[in-house]
Amino acid sequence: GAGVSQTPSNKVTEKGKYVELRCDPISGHTALYWYRQSLGQGPEFLIYFQGTGAADDSGLPNDRFFAVRPEGSVSTLKIQRTERGDSAVYLCASSSSGRGPTGELFFGEGSRLTVL
């Protein structure tokens, strides 16, 4: 597709359940990022992939959060044993690695997660 696609756009779940959020980056972009945005806050970095490998996962808040990108394209953010504090908009972005650190990120519209 033309842009970064995220599914689902909205997810409501109960505390303790498992959730998967999917991101389909811009075709050809090898760098992929996950951010979390709470109401009234700036995006908070979670994890960054370069190809299939996680180059920096320092932003993952705890071991309930995990992300994969097995073929270097689509990525899935997985949250186990969800808590109410996990409620936020999860943003995915991709970037062309050909530009290295000077390249801007292109964001999807996000997946809004609500944990009841």
Nearer to other proteins, 19 or 92 (CB): 92
Distance of CA 88 to the CA centre of its chain: 12
Minimum CB distance to other proteins smaller for 56 or for 83: 56
Residue whose entry in the numeric block shows the structure tokens 């994890």: 47
Residue from 59, 64, 73, 87 touching other proteins (CB under 8 A): that is 59
Q: Does 41 bind other proteins (CB under 8 A)?
A: yes
Give 71 or 104: the residue with its C-beta nearer to other proteins: 104
**Per residue in 1-14, is it b (16+ CB within 10 Å) or e — as a string?**
eeebbbeeeebebe
The C-alpha atoms of residue 51 and residue 29 are separated, in whole angstroms, by 9
In angstroms, the CA 40 to CA 1 distance is 30
What is the nearest approach in angstroms of other proteins to the Cβ of residue 81?
Answer: 26
Binding footprint of other proteins on the chain (CB under 8 A): 4, 33, 35, 40-45, 48, 50, 55-56, 58-59, 91, 93, 100-102, 104-110
